[in-house]
Structure 1
Amino acid sequence: MRLVLLTFLALTGACTNFPEFDGSQSPGVARAPWPRLVPLSGLLEGQPPARTQPEMAADLDTRAEALRRRAAALQQGDVVDEGTRRRMDGGVTFPEVPGA
């Protein structure tokens, strides 16, 4: 019964009307040439390097130092305690499904 219902729902989705996109273009778009492709390196040349404001630099330094401390703390010992490690090593036991 479920299969019939799912099939019916899937097939009714195919009966929808799609909007007309042909009339949504301005008159010159159909005759316009394709855009010229340019290499990415040419776009990036001559751009000034990204600059940060002094208040941004201080905030970034603070965040970077906090991440370094956190990484150092994680490297000091086990992230997962022994009991959790044993449970994880045991794997997943799926329950019995009646009638399957």
Structure 2
Amino acid sequence: MRRAIVVFSLLTGLAGCGDFPELENSASARAADYPELLPIDGLLAQAEGAQITPDTVESLDARIARLKAAAEALSVPVIDADAMDRLHDQIDTGESGTEPSADN
């Protein structure tokens, strides 16, 4: 454990020794336009209209129930137990149950 701490400390220290480009002093950064500042009023108006209400809770609960039902429906076995037993028996005996076709 002590060795891991020492190795981690050394690697962290070495990571600080790397040469990184100074992005703010690059020609493309100096020539770039400042980002456009947008008024916050529109964002606040959208946020006020998106409040959680009892209807929101009910619709989320209904969605959760539908998703759980879908998950339950998907979690059933694809092959029933009898078919699985027949497959295992055929594998054990080497029988395919069908004759090879002339196309093969």
Same fold (TM > 0.5): no
Q: Give the number of the structure whose residues are more often helix, by fraction.
A: 2
Question: Per chain length, whose mean CA-contact separation is higher, i.e. which structure has more relative contact order (CA < 8 Å, sep 6+)?
Answer: 2
Q: In terms of Rg, which structure is larger?
A: 2
Query: Normalization by structure 1: what TM-score?
Result: 0.31
